[in-house]
Structure 1
Amino acid sequence: MYFPSDAFPADLPLDAYDVVIPCYNRAHVVADAVASVLAQTAAPSRVIVVDDGSRDSSADVIRALAAAHPGRIEAAILPRNGGASNARNVGASLCASPWIAFLDSDDVWLPGAADALLRGAMTSGADVIVGHFARLESGAAPSEPECGWDGGCIRTGLRSGGVIGPSWSIVRRETVFDIGGFDPSFHNCNDWDFYTRAAAAAATFARINETVALYRTVAGARLVNDHEKGAENARRVLSHPYFRHRQS
Structure 2
Amino acid sequence: MSSDASGHGARQPSTWLSVLVPAHNAEPYLEECLGSIVSNVRQLPEDAASAIEILALDDASTDGSRRIIEEFRSRFPETISIIEQARSDGVSAARNSLIAQAQGDYIWFIDADDVMAPGAMVGLFDAVSRGGPDYIMCDYATFSNEPAAGSERVRKPTFKGPSNVLFEDRSAALSGLFEMGALHPWSKIHRRSLYANTLTFPLGRIYEDVLVMPLLAARAQSFFHVPQTWVLHRKHPGSLIGSKSVKIAEDKCFALVTLAAQLEKEGDHLSRGSRSAFHYFMGRHLRVVFKQLVRSDDPERAKETYRTCSMILNSAPVSIEGRVRTSLIRRGRLGKLAGLILWRRRAQKRFTSHGRFEPPKH
**TM-score of the superposed pair, with normalisation by structure 2:** 0.59
RMSD: 2.5
Q: How does 1:58-207 map to 2 (within 5 A)?
A: 58-123=65-130, 125-139=132-146, 141-151=151-161, 153-159=172-178, 162-186=181-205, 188-202=206-220, 204-207=222-225
Question: Residue by residue, what CA displacement relative to the aligned partner does 1:156-212 show, whole Å, maximum 9, x if unpaired?
Answer: 3454575132223211111134543322242x1111211122133345432111211
Distance in 2, matches of 1:108 and 1:185, equals: 25
Question: Residue by residue, what CA displacement relative to the aligned partner does 1:92-122 show, whole Å, maximum 9, x if unpaired?
Answer: 2222121111110011111111121232233
| Structure 1: gaps spanning 5 or more residues | 1-12
Report the equivalent of 2:30.
Answer: 30
Aligned residue-pair number: 234
Higher relative contact order (CA 8 A, sep 6+): 1
Report the equivalent of 1:10.
Answer: none
Q: Is the 8 A contact 2:159 2:176 kept in 1?
A: yes
**1:224 equivalenced with 2:231 (yes/no):** no
**TM-score of the superposed pair, with normalisation by structure 1:** 0.83
Distance in 2, matches of 1:115 and 1:199, equals: 23
Largest Rg, 1 or 2: 2
Q: Is the 8 A contact 1:182 1:194 kept in 2?
A: yes
- Which structure: greater helix fraction? 2
Q: Is the 8 A contact 1:23 1:104 kept in 2?
A: yes
- Which structure: greater strand fraction? 1
Q: Identity of paired residues, percent? A: 25
Distance verdict in 2 for CA 1:125–1:247, change over 3 Å = farther
Distance verdict in 2 for CA 1:14–1:31, change over 3 Å = farther
Distance in 2, matches of 1:204 and 1:53, equals: 37
Report the equivalent of 1:238.
Answer: 256
Distance verdict in 2 for CA 1:205–1:98, change over 3 Å = same
Q: How does 1:8-47 map to 2 (within 5 A)?
A: 15-40=15-40, 41-42=43-44, 43=49, 45-47=52-54
SS in 2 for 1:91: helix
What amino acid sits opposite 1:38 in the alignment? V
